[in-house]
Amino acid sequence: MHQAAIPHLPPLGNADAFLPKLDPLAFTHLVIRLSDRRVYVYERDQIKTSFPVAIGRAGWETPTGRYRVLQMLRHPAWQHPFTGEVIPAGVDNPLGSRWIGFWTDGANFIGFHGTPNTESVGTPASHGCIRMYDQDVTKLFEMVQVGTRVDVVP
């Protein structure tokens, strides 16, 4: 009979040292409820917080469905979709200080962004994007990552 050597194991108190680390953001998902004009931030099945939003206006409705965050930018530039004019980051930029893109058809994009037009938040005012108060989109930016699920529901 051969007796194998017993491997040296760390004390149980150190179990965290060899367990995989789970990213807490991996349990976060967003639900945009168009009828409420709010985005809800969920951690697992619990609402962590919510923010008021502007949604797409008539003829430019925000598309419903299940999406994923595709792109995240701090201080984005904005290109006018019809004229091609580029507005650099700053107070005149219609995207505010953050962009969280979650939909594209390859030519057009929809995402969360700040807005200098704060009175539009809570109304159907955008071309499909989700406008937020700049301080709110800055907070949301820190709660999500590329790949975070985004559900847009009526």
| CATH number of the domain encompassing residue 141 | 2.40.440.10
- Residue 16 covered by a domain: no
Pairing of strands 55-56, 46-52: unpaired
- Residue 9 covered by a domain: no
The residue annotated as part of the active site, out of 8, 29, 80, 113, is 113
- Residue 13 covered by a domain: no
- Residue 12 covered by a domain: no
Rounded to an integer, what distance in angstroms lies between the CA atom of residue 128 and that of residue 61? 5
For the stretch 80-112, pLDDT in tens is 878 888 888 888 888 999 999 999 998 889 999
- Residue 7 covered by a domain: no
- Residue 5 covered by a domain: no
Whole-structure pTM value: 0.82
Say how many domains are in the chain: 1
Q: How confident is the model at residue 6 (pLDDT cuts 50, 70, 90)?
A: low
129 noted as active-site residue: yes
Rounded to an integer, what distance in angstroms lies between the CA atom of residue 20 and that of residue 30? 25
For the stretch 26-78, pLDDT in tens is 799 999 999 999 999 999 999 999 999 999 999 999 999 999 999 999 999 88
The DSSP-derived string for 62-121 is PPPEEEE--EEEES--EE-TTT-PEEPSSTT-TTTTEEEEEEE-SS-EEEEEE-S-GGGT
- Residue 141 covered by a domain: yes
Residues of the domain holding 130:
24-153
Q: How far is CA 107 from the centre of its chain?
A: 20
113 noted as active-site residue: yes
- Residue 17 covered by a domain: no
- Residue tagged 């409420």 (tokens): 36
